[in-house]
A and B are shown apart, each in its own frame.
Chain A
Amino acid sequence: MDRESELALVKRVRAGETAAFDAVHAAFNARLYGFLARLARSRDIAEDLLEETWLRFVTHAGQLHADTRLGPWLFTVARNLHITWCRSRAMESRTAASLDLWPVLAPSESPFERTAGNELAQRLERALASVSEEAREVLLLVGVEGMTPSEAAAVCGVSPDAMRQRLKRARALLADRLAEGEARPLGHLREVQP
């Protein structure tokens, strides 16, 4: 989507045109879903967060600035909703652990690890899922979504220089995890009991 079309879309969304919303939805829905699903490592949670992201978008449609960049705006909302969800999850886990009522589940295999088509994609998904959330969001925004570090910095609320540092660290971490996977090619296979 070029800048001209984006500005025209913003204008129409601000005017409350549902057709303009559909165009924005078509352009960003799959991307936002991929970002949230990889970040949260769960399709169900990603769908809930995605729905909330779109609802926030239409609720604030009338207050958008005329020069709003839709991608960074939507990814910022999605990221913030994910952070809020992580905080509530952490609180629930702490409460559950202190009450000792039910087991706190360990993070399971990402749905993308199970469905990634080829071996390289599987290794990448596995490596991506294994890095910290901070590193993962940087890699998703810059690597998968193709944002510039400056755009990703705006989404994460940090300076472009800080984002470049984060990206450098995240990239190195991902490369390490990929190298570990190569060194132990069968490491991910579980032992089969006779």
Chain B
Amino acid sequence: MTVEPHDPLLATLAGLTAPATTPARDTRVRARCHATMTAARRPRPVARAIDRLLPVAVLVYAAITIVEGLRVAGVL
């Protein structure tokens, strides 16, 4: 680990007073952050069966259309 030499100018900077934030705004920001964290922790709703059925129906329909197309063309 490198040891940095003591610098009086930087040490003086360290003594500057920290500005004060607005308490009301801090409270609001914290509440907003809490809400964000709580929302992220909440389990996501499970997809409904009807939502899962839709892509399956589309795939079946597409397969039937292709098979029917090939049958009409005389390939099958």
Contact = CB atoms under 8 A, between A and B. Distances in A.
B19 interface: yes
Contacts of B10: 139, 142-143, 171
Contact of A125 (B16, B37, B40): B16
A159 B16 CA distance: 27
B29 A51 contact: yes
Contact of B13 (A61, A124, A150): A124
B22 A124 contact: no
Contacts of A47: 21-22, 25
A50 B37 contact: no
B34 A21 contact: yes
Interface in A129-173: 139, 142-144, 146, 148-150, 171
Interface residues of A, number: 43
A120 B21 contact: no
B73 interface: no
Interface of B: 2, 4, 7, 9-10, 12-22, 25-26, 29-30, 32-34, 36-38, 40-41
B16 A144 contact: yes
Interface of A: 16, 18, 21-22, 25, 29-31, 33-34, 37, 43, 47, 50-51, 54-55, 57-59, 61-62, 111-112, 115-117, 120-121, 124-125, 128, 139, 142-144, 146, 148-150, 171, 174-175
A31 to B, nearest CB: 7
Contacts of A117: 17
Contacts of B13: 124, 128, 139, 143-144
